[in-house]
Chain A
Amino acid sequence: MPKKKEEGFPRVPAVIAGGRIIDPTASIDKTGDLYIENGKIVRIEFNKLLSKKSIQSVGSHKVMDASGQVVSPGFIDLHVHLREPGREDEETVATGTKAAAAGGFTSVCCMPNTDPPLDNQENIRFVLEQAKAGFARVYPLGCITQGRKGERIAEIGDIVAAGAVAVTDDGSPVMDASVMRLAFEYSRMFGIPIVQHAEDTNLSFGGLMHEGFVSTILGMRGIPAAAEEVIVARDLKLLETFGGRLHVAHISTAGALELVRQAKKKKLPVTCEVTPHHLTLTDEEIKKSFNPNLRVNPPLRSRKDVEALREGLVDGTIDAIATDHAPHSREEKEVEFDAAPNGMIGLETAFGIVMTEIVAKGYLSLAQAVEKLTSAPAQVFGLPGGQLKIGHPADIIIFDPGQSWTYRASEGFSKSINSPFDGWGFKGKVTSTLLAGKVVYPVESKLEVVGLSPQDKIKLQVAERKKQKKRK
């Protein structure tokens, strides 16, 4: 890529001025100026603030005016599918991290259910190599079992050595309890959590949506809440007996949540995450439209489950909000509901949803919501970031909590558009994302996204030319 123009201000000392700075770990929620040098946070000033006038001239510092907005650590997503290697037509590390940046995420943990799966050192290294060109930090997860087959545990030691932060067979559960036992025991040596996609595939077999009144009316094969709960219950028993750490991915039912709540009371090393869509949408949504973009695994549950999940977020049973960003091609999704693959994209809508559905409705304060998107997930996988600490990389976002906007999937940065939130209005929008002090969002042109295929670049060029013509 020709370096004709650097985005934003790369290594120039900078100051983000006049924003409301929130850092949950340091209990900071105060207006201040944040100084960045060499990509690191060097100073946070709360007392002698730059005046509006002086903002224009602070020596050699470039100034970003954040007045009226919030400055927080960049978000951390514990659960995304970047589809590389294997399905680069749906997403790449480059496009996925670009979407992450647009959604305020400066770190993403990518799932190993690629093709080939990330079940060895080599493949983990490949993803990390791809991530060098990206717009967010990428922390890959490795597989629990070889080939994600659920039969023999993978080389977890090697995988962790190569840079994986946890292991999971996400997309599928480890159905065999004896294999899960070995995974717990073996992973203890490396101190990483086992991330379980909790689904009893015998109970969920052929299921398309949550089993309940709506599935009954629609005549669709249901996935009972018990399919998730029996695996969570089993895993907690194994955890208690054989040690290790458990992280329950995309928890979706009131019952599973209660199991985790009780386990946490017993001080078991268990954590869990929830997706923005499971906090918002119910199975009723499918009845309105049969939109294949609503097909997701675990399925959208009942109103009662959604309420329980919100409560779980409030009482701390749920540690983090994670997107389960799952891109699928248009061809695969524009089909009959039961032929569509599971999953929806979520990186670019997560913050809007959390602000509109969770913060505005009074479940969490702004600072608490930021925590569930930053320091809390960082803690789950032991990741750096998630806080504004002097000397640490300046992974920082600026967002406007009052800005209303409408999400258009086709205008997003992800390569895929499979979002049921297309056309939804939200209040609260990320306006700038800085990765190690460098502005990665917004960019002046989508063309600057690296890692695009030549065809994609041509498409974008054509689209931009059209736009320019329109303006004229």
Chain B
Amino acid sequence: MQKETLILDERQLGRVLARISHEIAERNAGAKNLVVVGIQTRGAHLARRLAQLLSELEGLKVPVGEMDITFYRDDIETRPDRPIVKKTNLPFSIDDKIIILVDDVLFTGRTVRAALDELVDFGRPKAVQLAVLVDRGHRELPIRADYVGKNIPTSLSQEVVVRVKETDRQDSVALRDKKRAKK
């Protein structure tokens, strides 16, 4: 087992999500025209929680969807591993909606770029705002998050491990050294 530095525990993660939901509601003056879309897989779980929090906060049902951006990646050719592609499910029109795009970690920005490309294939939203649990820096594209749970300065030799109860039996964010590639 590798050594990990805990960044957020379950309670802290809950507070961060609550804060983000408040920020979203504040900035958009409510949640009337909002839809929340999570990027598979952990972003999708976080999106469902944010939508739930927003619904409770504003007293209306905020629609939530999920997207797998694999087909829109720009590095498919060079990655011989082909993971099972998860569901993309946007059970609503996104035309003229304000989309809160949710992911767990913002890193190079390439995933978000792919997600934006995929979104526009589904319609023409009024605006897209980006919410992430962690921003670890090292951007390779001009992309910035509108809502950030926590900024964590990292080195490239580290990785951010986000765990959510839905898939990992606990809520936490931690930092650890990357596994050495096997020789």
Direct A–B contact in complex, judged by CB atoms less than 8 Å apart: no
* B residues with CB within 8 A of A: none
